[in-house]
Amino acid sequence: MKRRQFLTVSAATVGGALVYTLDRRPYVVSAQDKPVRVPLRFFTEAEALDVAAAAARILPNDEAGPGANEAGVVIYIDRQLAGPYGRDRYRYTQGPFENGIPEQGYQGKATPREIYREGVRKIAGIAKLAAAEQDATLKQIETTSFFTLVKTHTIEGMFCDPMHGGNIDMIGWQLIGFPGPRMTYFEEVDSHYGNPFRPKPQSLRQIVGRPVKASEDEA
């Protein structure tokens, strides 16, 4: 049996960073004093570190605010790949598999899991490189379907509801001024023309008052 793998998220990575929302109001994410060990569902620790490094170059932590690492994007990706999406539950996968034209969409046989496993091999060790070298490595693969997937998943992991493992502390939503789910804007819909309206984000769990079942936890 495969040994269980963990990703250690350091206290320095999550928390304590001063960030700015779109309308330039400062916001501090809740600081954590201990490293967090997150059990991995699909990746090995080495793979997770490499994917995290790639995601962090796509959406870096910089003067504009926190990035993919601070949001826990790799945790989101790991759970998606372990779940039904990763094994192509949401795609028609009967053969024969033939090459099509772009307007017919992706016709490949490879599942997201397989695309990642193969793709990560090509950037193995990227986590240990300096930022400029990491960018050079990604430049070489930026036209591949693997890179397109990582970019898509980075955006998803940055801005998903926290129940999916990314957007930790709703850090991504704060960055763009998105309030998350909310019951009503009846009063606000036509009373903030041209001015930013930035209510404090709430997660779906906070709104409904109980846990909600996420697709990645389904069969």
Partner 1 sequence: MKTLPAVDAVIVGGGWTGLLMAQQLASRTSMSVVVLERGAPRKTSDYLDNMDELDYAIRLRMMQDISKETVTFRHSERDRALPVRQYGSFLPGAGVGGAGEHWSGISYRYVPDSFDLLTKTKEKYGAKRLPEDHAIQDWGVSYAALEPHYTRTERLMGISGKAGNLNGKLIEGGNIYEGPRSEEYPTPPMKMPYLAALFRDATKSLGYHPYPLPAATTSQPYTNPDGVSRAGCSYCGYCERYGCMIGAKSQPTNTLMPLLAKRKNFTLRPGCWVKRVTVEDGQARAVTYIDAAGEEVFQPAGIVFLASWTLNNTRLLMLSKVADPHKNLGRNLTHQISIPAATVFMEKPLNRFIGAGSAGIAMNDFDADVFDHSNVPFLRGGHIYTVCYGFRPMANFGVMPPSQKAAWGSAWKKAALDAYDRTGRISFYGEHLSYKGNVMDLDPVYKDAQGDPLLRLTLDWRDNERNMAKFMAEKATGIARAMGAREVTPFPGLKSYDATRYQSTHIQGGAIMGASPESSVVNSYLQHWHANNLFVIGSSAFPQNPSGNPTLTAMALTYRAADAIVERYVKRPGSLV
- Interface with partner 1, residue 96, by CB under 8 A: yes
- The β-bridge partners of 9 are 36
- The β-bridge partners of 168 are none
What length does the chain have? 219
Closest CB 102 distance from partner 1, rounded Å: 7
Of residues 12 and 64, the one with the C-beta less far from partner 1: 64
Q: Sketch the per residue contact string, 149 through 188, with partner 1: x for CB under 8 A, - otherwise.
A: --x---xx-xxxx-xx-------xx-xxxxx-xxxxxx-x
CB-based contacts of 118: which residues, under 8 Å, 6+ apart? Answer: 110, 146
Single residue of 1, 130, 190, 219 touching partner 1 by CB under 8 A: 190
Single residue of 30, 93, 140, 206 touching partner 1 by CB under 8 A: 93
- C-alpha span between 173 and 5 (Å, rounded): 29
User: What Å distances lie between residue 135 and 15, 151, 179, CA to CA?
Assistant: 25, 14, 32
Phi, psi of 34, rounded to the nearest 5 degrees:
-120, 150
- Interface with partner 1, residue 196, by CB under 8 A: yes
SS3 letters for 78-90?
A: HHHHHCCCCCCCC
- Interface with partner 1, residue 215, by CB under 8 A: yes
- Interface with partner 1, residue 195, by CB under 8 A: yes
Contact assessment for residue 74 and residue 7, using Cβ atoms and an 8 Å cutoff = yes
List residues near partner 1 by CB under 8 A.
22-23, 57-60, 62, 64-65, 67, 85, 88-94, 96, 98, 100, 102-107, 135, 138, 142, 151, 155-156, 158-161, 163-164, 172-173, 175-179, 181-186, 188-190, 192-197, 204, 207-208, 212-215
